[in-house]
Amino acid sequence: MAQDSSKTDGAKADDPRVLVSTDWLAAHAKDPDLRVIDASWYLPDMGRDAIAEYDAGHIPGARFFDIDEISDQRSELPHMAPPVEKFISRMRAMGVGDGHQVVIYDGHGIFSAPRVWWTFKLMGKMDVAVLDGGLPKWRAEGRPVEDMPPVIRDRHMTVQRQAHLVKDVTQVAHASKLGDWDIVDARAANRYRGEAAEPRPGLRAGHIPGSKNLPHRDLITPEGTLLPPEALRAKFEAAGVDLAKPVITTCGSGVSAAILSLALERIGHRNHSLYDGSWAEWGMYNDLRVATAKP
């Protein structure tokens, strides 16, 4: 079922390892090895309850992935990537395992689904895609939703963690100093420049020295879908990102950074990692340098 989109300008409209359309999902809805996941997650100021919305109506057969619960709760940082054992346990309980094609969506369009897509990739699961436009597009097209929980059948899952897909604070600090990676920040421009206070208390304002700014909203169309590959590439280049170099994506807490990671994958840029701690970590430590103007 998986396809390749290794060439930037030749990326397929539907790539079950990166991004699929609502038409694709509707056509494959009855496939026995398809698993659909609702990965909705919202910032506090959005005033939305992801679990309540899932209970009220979701794409038929969808399981709910709780980003805050399926995380490393030993960490003081928000929703850090889960330990392998916890991921396996939660996925088996959701009936998601080896041999499944996974499609992930969220209730915003494209916001939190890429974070769960990245988590699956981190665990070595390749046949996983984000639903372009998410639940809003699915609903707008008059496609079915249900409020019944899915029938779960346990499925074995094996994991091969892909450590190269994630960076810690020490690795990011080295990249910032050496400039051998391009660091790209998905936060809004006013937060990147240090002109707006951070929503999490106690964090300094600004950005990682040497990082570039590409707000995640700039990669999404007014209809809530990901921009076409050519337009995505143009956005990265306009932000000053050298696509010949490896890229580290970052944001406020590691969620919207995954939108940049998804976009990089969409244009065929495979050498990218996500800074899981993101600004929630960097902005907390006074011994880490902070920049407050464009580099």
Q: Identify the pLDDT of residue 228.
A: 97
Q: Identify the pLDDT of residue 294.
A: 66
Q: Identify the pLDDT of residue 293.
A: 77
Q: Is residue 1 part of a domain?
A: no
Same domain as 147, residue 28: yes
pTM, two decimal places = 0.94
Among residues 243, 245, 250, the alpha carbon closest in space to that of 215 is found at: 250
Known catalytic residues are: 251
Same domain as 194, residue 145: no
What are phi and psi for residue 223, nearest 5 degrees?
-85, -5
Same domain as 145, residue 37: yes
Q: Identify the pLDDT of residue 193.
A: 96
Same domain as 151, residue 181: no
Provide the number of structural domains found in the chain. Answer: 2
Same domain as 86, residue 59: yes
Same domain as 169, residue 157: no
Q: Identify the pLDDT of residue 13.
A: 82
Residue 65's domain comprises: 19-161
Same domain as 185, residue 125: no
In whole angstroms, give the CA distance from residue 36 to residue 146. Answer: 13
Q: HEC profile for 165-199? A: HEECHHHHHHHHHHCCCEEEECCCHHHHCCCCCCC
Same domain as 217, residue 151: no
Q: Is residue 70 part of a domain?
A: yes
Q: Identify the pLDDT of residue 199.
A: 84
The answer to whether the beta carbons of residues 133 and 13 sit under 8 Å apart is no
CATH assignment of the domain containing 210: 3.40.250.10
Same domain as 269, residue 237: yes
Same domain as 137, residue 43: yes
Same domain as 180, residue 119: no
Q: What string of pLDDT tens digits covers the 295 residues of the chain? A: 333 333 333 356 899 999 999 999 999 999 999 999 999 999 988 999 999 999 999 999 999 999 999 999 999 999 999 999 999 999 999 999 999 999 999 999 999 999 999 999 999 999 999 999 999 999 999 999 999 999 999 899 999 999 999 999 999 999 999 999 999 999 999 999 999 988 888 899 999 999 999 999 999 999 999 999 999 999 999 999 999 999 999 999 999 999 999 999 999 999 999 999 999 999 999 999 999 976 5
What are phi and psi for residue 37, nearest 5 degrees?
-125, 130
Cα separation values, 238 from 6, 60, 176, 217, Å: 22, 40, 20, 15
Q: Which of 161, 185, 219 is the last residue of a domain?
A: 161
